Each structure stands twice: as C-alpha cells, then as structure tokens.
C-alpha cells in the first residue's frame, strides 16, 4: 500500500483540548493499525502544537477519511491539515 504523510497544525491556544483528547487519539491509532510513525509537533516553548503522522492506507481518500475520524479532528483541535502521498527512501 502507499504511504501518506499527514501534517496537522493545532489551533492557537488549544493545548488543553489536545491534552483532554490525547488518550482517545492514541486509542484510535492503536485500534486502526495503519499508523507507521507519529508524534507531536512542538512550538518554541516545547509544547505540543500539531501532529505529524505516516499512514499506510490504500489511497488518498482513505488517508483523508482516517484523519477526519481521528478524535483530535472530531474535537476541532486542528487549524489546518495536509495529507499527501509520501515515498519512503531512507530509514
């Protein structure tokens, strides 16, 4: 299957919302089994301010649908989300 990069930027001042929905987000990742790598993006103070994920899914629409169903997205955490096919070359 192809790989997809998902880059999400949190809304300003949304750290409390991120923290409140983090457990549900991590459960969703574990249950769906399509996330190869993931982690938070950090702001200048070292606080979580976004997400970067690598997804193994059949097509772009499936990756976008996965992102839309993520509890973070459902809670309205993100100001912007970008999904694009990605080709692994190193690592």
Q: What is the pLDDT of residues 5-53, one digit of tens each?
A: 999 999 999 999 999 999 999 999 999 999 999 999 999 999 999 999 9
Q: Which domain holds residue 52?
A: 3-86
pLDDT confidence bin for 1, thresholds 50/70/90 = confident
What DSSP string describes 11-25?
Answer: PTT-HHHHHHHHHHH
Number of domains into which the chain is organized: 1
pLDDT one-digit tens code per residue, 58-70? 999 999 999 999 9
Tokens of 84: 């694009």
Asked if residues 78 and 22 have their Cβ atoms less than 8 Å apart, the reply is: no
Four-residue CA torsion sign, 83, 1, 35, 46: negative
Q: Is 91 part of any domain?
A: no
Q: HSE (CB half, 13 Å, CA atoms) of 41?
A: 14
Q: Domain of 65: which CATH number?
A: 3.30.70.1060
**pTM, whole model, 2 decimals?**
0.93
């Amino acid at each position: 299957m192809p790989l997809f990069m998902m880059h999400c930027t949190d809304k300003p001042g949304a750290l409390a919302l991120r923290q409140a929905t983090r457990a549900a987000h991590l459960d969703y990742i574990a249950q769906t089994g399509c996330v190869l790598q993931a982690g938070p993006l950090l702001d200048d103070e070292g606080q979580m301010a976004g997400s970067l994920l690598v997804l193994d899914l059949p097509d772009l629409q499936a990756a976008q649908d996965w992102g839309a169903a993520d509890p973070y997205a459902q809670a309205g955490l993100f100001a912007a989300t970008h999904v694009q096919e990605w080709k692994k070359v190193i690592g």
